[in-house]
Amino acid sequence: MSAALLSVEGLRVGFRTADGGMVEAVRGVDFCVAPGEAVGIVGESGSGKSLSMLAVMRLLGAPARAIGGRVIFDGEDLLAADEKRMRALRGRDIAMVFQDPQSSLNPALTVGRQITDVVRAHRGVSAAEARRIAAEALERVGIRDAGRRLASYPHEFSGGMRQRALIAMAIACRPRLLIADEPTTALDVTVQAQIVDLIAELRRELNLAVVFISHNLQLVAEIVDRVVVMYGGKVVEDGPVEAIELAPRHPYTSLLKACVPSLTGPVGPLTAIEGAPPRLGRLPAGCPFSPRCPDAAESCSHQMPPLIDEAGHRTACWRPR
Ligand SMILES: Nc1ncnc2c1ncn2[C@@H]1O[C@H](COP(=O)(O)OP(=O)(O)OP(=O)(O)O)[C@@H](O)[C@H]1O
Ligand SMILES: [Mg+2]
């Protein structure tokens, strides 16, 4: 892999249980993001996508805790950085957009105030200059009459506009990495597509590296270069988007592909993957997907398959397709 902007190495996130034990929700995750690269992280609910990226941002709340591994951003180990350093990096070098634009904005403050606060916290600029930067950011995300819209409160915006405002806040300080965690799931399908297009456009314009988290492989595939598939707190497959789409090697990826309707194509019946995702602390010793896997042999549940790299396409499966 080329010199990475972000390199996540052996990341583990755990929870202390009531009886003093530890359950791991993220169990040794490795992946890289190159400068300007867009990477999708996909997987069913509970696979550890959000916890992994919250750990990267050092935003895990108790009882979750990073218990192992390294997160190297531009040469610096974020898991070893102090909180002051993280506050400087968050919002300036690494920005995050969450699923629910409603709860990510403060309803009591104008949109303009919320963006200018971020700008002033990170860039030593005057109030007037911060307003100019905020208006420019709002305009860039496609909000018309941006200068006047700075005075609006979040409730005066539609759901799609609120998500745009959050993206404006995220890009206002020109970060190098944008982490978008299910940024479209709360929106209707048309608006979803617009937000995905917007993120793709900003990425090109600003040479932004993007980590885009979603359940929806098809949606992610439209804008990313590479896809990381997670299951049971592990990376089970990671490769160029074309390879993942055309020739997935992990049976889970194949099923995930069949699972989700395309945004642009006809909406067919959803073929759900049979069985339920694993519960924390109830994972088999071997491949976490083996209990649901149509290709599994008995031996698959004995030992976790290693993530094997073949020309930049990594797969953790004893019986890859
Ligand atoms: N505060 C918490 N306390 C206990 N368990 C938690 C907590 N937060 C998350 N978990 C568990 O950790 C696992 C991974 O959670 P995570 O939020 O990373 O999943 P995800 O892949 O982002 O799922 P989704 O697609 O639903 O957002 C899940 O089983 C979840 O129930
Ligand atoms: Mg999540």
The alpha helices in the chain, defined as continuous H runs, are 49-56, 83-89, 101-104, 111-122, 127-140, 146-149, 159-171, 189-206, 217-221, 241-246, 251-259
* 181 Cα–ligand 2 center, Å: 7
d(CA 267, CA 222): 17
pLDDT at 60: 94
What is the per-residue pLDDT for 271? 57
Ligand of minimum distance to the alpha carbon of 65: 1
**266, pLDDT greater than 70:** no
Pairwise CA distance, residues 130 & 163, whole Å: 20
- How far apart CA 301 and CA 284 sit, in angstroms, is 6
Whether the per-residue pLDDT at 262 is higher than 50: the answer is: no
- Among 25-29, 120-124, 164-168, 183-187, where is mean pLDDT lowest? 183-187
Query: 26: CA distance to ligand 1 center in Å?
Result: 9
| Ligand 1 centroid distance, CA of 213 (Å) | 13
Among 28-32, 134-138, 271-275, 289-293, where is mean pLDDT lowest?
271-275
CB 39 within 8 A of CB 239: no
Above 80 in pLDDT, residue 103?
Answer: no
Distance 50 CA to ligand 2 centre (A): 4
pLDDT at 268 over 70: no
Among the ranges given (197-211, 221-235, 273-287), the one the predictor scored with the smallest mean pLDDT? 273-287
Task: Taking residues 167-191, report their average pLDDT.
Answer: 92
Q: Which of 57-61, 158-162, 256-260 has the lowest mean pLDDT?
A: 256-260
Q: Please report the pLDDT score of residue 188 as a whole number.
A: 86
175 lines ligand 1 (CB under 6 A): no
Q: What is the mean pLDDT of residues 286-313?
A: 94
pLDDT single digits (tens) 30-87: 999 999 999 999 999 899 999 999 999 999 988 899 999 999 999 999 999 999 999 9
Ligand 2 centroid to 121 CA: how many Å? 28
Taking residues 208-234, report their average pLDDT.
95
Ligand nearest to the CA of 11: 1
Please work out whether the CB of residue 16 comes within 6 Å of at least one atom of ligand 1.
no
Structure confidence at residue 260 as a pLDDT band (50, 70, 90): low
Whether the CB-CB separation of 318 and 297 falls below 8 Å is answered with: yes
- Kindly give the distance from the C-alpha atom of residue 49 to the centroid of ligand 2, in angstroms, as a whole number: 6
Strand order in the sheet with 94-97: 94-97, 177-181, 209-214, 38-42, 226-231, 234-240, 313-315, 308-310
Measured in angstroms, how far is the CA atom of residue 101 from the centroid of ligand 2?
A: 14
So what's the pLDDT on residue 280?
Answer: 79
Write out the two tokens for 308.
């094997």
pLDDT of residue 167: 96
| Ligand 1 touching residue 54 (CB < 6 A) | no
What confidence score (pLDDT) does residue 34 get? 97
Q: Which superfamily, per CATH, for 6-93+175-315?
A: P-loop containing nucleotide triphosphate hydrolases (3.40.50.300)
Q: Is the CB of 50 under 6 A from ligand 1?
A: yes
Quick check: 155 pLDDT over 90?
yes
Query: 119: Cβ below 6 Å to ligand 1?
Result: no
Q: How far is the CA of 234 from the centre of ligand 2 (A)?
A: 14
Atom of ligand 1 nearest to the CA of 44: 25
Q: Quick one: pLDDT band at residue 2, thresholds 50, 70, 90? A: low
23 falls in which pLDDT band (50, 70, 90)? very high
Mean pLDDT of the chain: 91
Higher pLDDT pick, 190 / 34: 34
Q: Is 280 touching ligand 1 by the criterion CB < 6 Å?
A: yes
As a whole number of Å, the CA-based R_g of the chain is: 20
Residue 278 near ligand 1, beta carbon < 6 Å: no
Evaluate whether 23 touches 279 at the Cβ level (below 8 Å): no
- Residue (of 112, 167, 107, 174) closest to 141 by Cα position: 167
* 170-186 mean pLDDT: 93
Whether the CB of 64 sits within 6 Å of ligand 1:
yes
Q: Which pLDDT score, from 0 to 100, does residue 261 have? A: 54
Res. 281 pLDDT band, cuts 50 70 90: confident
For the cut 80, the answer to whether the pLDDT of residue 259 exceeds it is no
> What percent of the chain lies above the pLDDT cut of 90?
78
Ligand 1 touching residue 65 (CB < 6 A): no
CA-proximal residue: ligand 1, atom 16 (nearest): 48
- Does 215 contact ligand 1 (Cβ within 6 A)? yes
